[in-house]
Homo-oligomer: A and B are copies of this chain.
Amino acid sequence: MIAIHPLTGMPEIYAGDDLAKMLREALETAGLWPIQENDVLVVTQKILSKAEGRMADLDEVRPSPEAQELAQATRKDPRLVELVLRESSAVVRAVPHVLITRHRLGHVMANSGIDRSNIGPGGEERALLLPVDPDRSAAELSHALAGGDGIAPAVVISDSFGRPWRHGVVGVAIGAAGLPALVDRRGDEDRDGRRLEVTQIALADQIATAAALAAGEGAESIPAVLVRGLALPPGNAPASALVRPVEEDLFR
């Protein structure tokens, strides 16, 4: 049995907060401390970004001519579009109300992951960027949350992405440490001794999605979730391993 525990009651997070300490307190309050072998702590991008001080004041953003043009095409705020461009390496699609980019971390997503909802007082004029290096932050959180017995949780930094061809968002991993974010099954066999046709499993994305079931979206959003009871395969790969390189992309 796999158990997905939402960590409720965490306080609002501000730039510079000690996120590891606050997560540990939330785990203790929930009766989930100490960490057990195979525990995965899923932390939303939003609270990590807040702790990292990734809030931008839109009034201080001066849109470039390119951002102004793209803002007109997408009917979005030119200051927001300027931030989206700064955070991205390429624009994938720009049509009215839709601006999909390849983020500098490689993820293809709407608005370079920049979020204007639930960002606290003055929200109307501020925007929250993705963490600087979510894989590194995941590793740091994992290290900081190791118990006295040396058992550290795997950590996944989660976000929500829309998808081509399907309606609705699902959880995805933009950071991971302490587990293989991508599990490679090439060479394994099925029950009949046939080579598996499905050879790679996006484990960290699947964990982020499972956590999203407990975390909800919007009003009741939960900032972190503990997943307990997984049988984690051996190995280690960061969330960047989930990104399909541009040259392998069949849909550019």
- A→B interface (CB under 8 Å): 1-6, 93, 95, 98, 100, 107-108, 115-121, 123-124, 160, 163-172, 182-183, 185, 188-192, 194-198, 200-203, 205-207, 209-210, 212-214, 217-219, 221, 227, 230, 241-244, 249-251
A192–B242 CB distance below 8 A: no
Q: Which residues of B contact A196 (CB under 8 A)?
A: 117, 217-218
User: In the complex the two chains form, is A200's CB within 8 Å of B168's CB?
Assistant: yes
Given contacts A194-B117, A210-B4, contact A243 B108 (CB under 8 A): no
Q: Give me the 3 closest cross-chain CB pairs, A-B, nearest first.
A: A168-B202, A210-B210, A209-B209
Q: Are the C-beta atoms of B251 and A205 separated by less than 8 Å?
A: no
Q: Flag if A2 contacts B217 (CB, 8 Å).
A: no
Cβ–Cβ contact A170 & B205, under 8 A: yes
**How many whole Å from A3's CB to the nearest CB in chain B?**
6
- Show 14 A/B contacts (Cβ-Cβ < 8 Å), sorted by A: A1-B4, A2-B214, A116-B194, A117-B195, A119-B192, A166-B243, A168-B242, A169-B200, A188-B219, A196-B218, A198-B218, A201-B217, A205-B209, A206-B212
State A78–B214 Cα separation when bound (angstroms): 45
Residues of B within 8 A of A171 (CB): 206, 209
- How many angstroms from the CA of A171 to the CA of B143 in the assembled complex? 30
Quick check: B166 and A201 within 8 Å, CB to CB?
Answer: no
Select which of B2, B119, B169 is within 8 A of A201 by beta carbon: B169
Q: Across the interface, do A190 and B4 meet the contact criterion of CB distance under 8 Å? A: no
Select which of B3, B117, B119 is within 8 A of A2 by beta carbon.
B3
Given contacts A1-B3, A188-B219, 7 further A-B contacts (CB under 8 A): A123-B192, A163-B202, A167-B182, A168-B202, A189-B218, A191-B219, A251-B251
Cβ B164 vs Cβ A249 within 8 A: yes
Contact A170 B4 (CB under 8 A): no
Cα A3 to Cα B3 in complex, Å, equals 5
Among A119, A171, A182, the one with the most B-chain Cβ atoms within 10 Å of its Cβ is A171
